[in-house]
Amino acid sequence: MENFFSNVTLNSSEQELCHLGLEYVVVLSLIDIITFLVGQPVIAKLLLLAFTSKKTTDILNCNLALFHNLQYLICILHLIALFLLPHSHLQIQMFLLVYVEIGGSMSLSFICLERYAAVIHPTSYPLLKKYRCREVCAATVWLFSVPIALVSVMAPIAPTNTLNFFTQFPCYVMVSMTAMMVWCSYSIVKTLKKSGPGRDELHPAKKRAFKIVCATSNITLFCYIPVSLLQRPNVVANIQVYNCIILPVCISLLSAASVVHPLIYLSTQGKLAPCLKKREREREREREREQKIWSNYLNGCV
């Protein structure tokens, strides 16, 4: 680790720049390449299944997939700039960080809110479709993430008060969205753990919802909360260390979150190859259990 960071030299004359060693460039390149190669096929499959399915389109998850698709394209743009325009790669990194900080956390929080409404307030859930709340949430993600990310890149030429605001605002948004996800996940898990009357276990549909909520909570715990901690003002104050060390770590965590969530979504839908056989076995066991319950009921009636 010491050899790795010894190749990253902080430039005291230019606050925003740092001289990159070979190992550091390799690490940044690997983050971009792995994120694109793993995430892009998964997102493409998710979008293909969503738009070709006869079921109602899951607007929030499709919007998050489109959001991540643009993120992966920006990763490739950063990879190109890293070698051809090394003095400009930091601006692309900053745009990517703010873009995912706001849009990623906001998208996940809206998905959690939708599940919260479906589980806790099922009678009010149809109102989401009637008043097009999902479409409004999807538009809100783009209206907040892209403009603020653009402004954050141009912030160094703005007045000091504007610079401070747009430096801290993405972090505040992510912290508030993370807190909302934690609260919604806790409420949903608490409700789903209550089995129905006369049952000793959860309904299969509730089991799937329970797994999705637990997965979202884990993404929040291991990806978004550490980024929130790394975005503390006392850390951001040292802009050289932040740009050269903290910023790549945050982007790698958010990139991991962008890949893990669509994988979990496809697995819960039974659309990943390893999950197809497992899902089929679960369906077969559920059918056998239902037939057994029905036969016992008929025998009792006789």
The per-type count for the chain, helices as H runs and strands as E runs, is 13, 2
Tell me: pLDDT of 163 over 60: no
8 Å CB contact between 133 and 127: yes
Structural contact between residues 72 and 39, judged by C-beta atoms closer than 8 angstroms: yes
The ranges assigned to domains in the chain are 19-271
pTM, two decimal places: 0.79
The CA dihedral of 155, 160, 164, 166, to the nearest 10 degrees, is: -30
pLDDT of 172 over the 90 cut? no
Res 150: pLDDT: 87
Which of residues 279 and 50 earns the better pLDDT score?
50
Q: pLDDT tens digits for 25-70?
A: 888 899 999 999 999 999 998 888 888 877 777 898 899 999 999 9
Render the burial of 174-195: b for 16+ CB within 10 Å, e for the rest. Answer: bbebbebbbebbebbeeebeee
pLDDT-based confidence at residue 203 (cuts at 50, 70, 90): low
The stretch 180-185 carries a mean pLDDT of 86
pLDDT tens by residue, 214-252:
777 788 888 888 888 887 766 666 677 777 788 889 999
What kind of fold does domain 19-271 have according to CATH?
Rhopdopsin 7-helix transmembrane proteins (1.20.1070)
Query: For residues 89, 90, 96 and 101, what is the CA-based torsion angle, rounded to 10 degrees?
Result: 170
Locate all alpha helices (DSSP H) within 7-84, ordered by sequence: 22-52, 59-84
Rounded mean pLDDT of the chain? Answer: 77
For 117-137, letters b (16+ CB in 10 Å) and e give bebeeeeeeeebeeeebbeeb
pLDDT of residue 9: 46
Q: pLDDT tens across 119-153, in order?
A: 888 888 888 888 889 999 999 999 999 998 888 77
From the centroid of its chain, how far is CA 15? Answer: 31
CA gap 89, 186 in Å, rounded: 39
State residue 70's pLDDT score. 94
Q: Residue 191: its pLDDT value, please?
A: 81
* Residues 170, 101 contacting (CB under 8 angstroms): yes
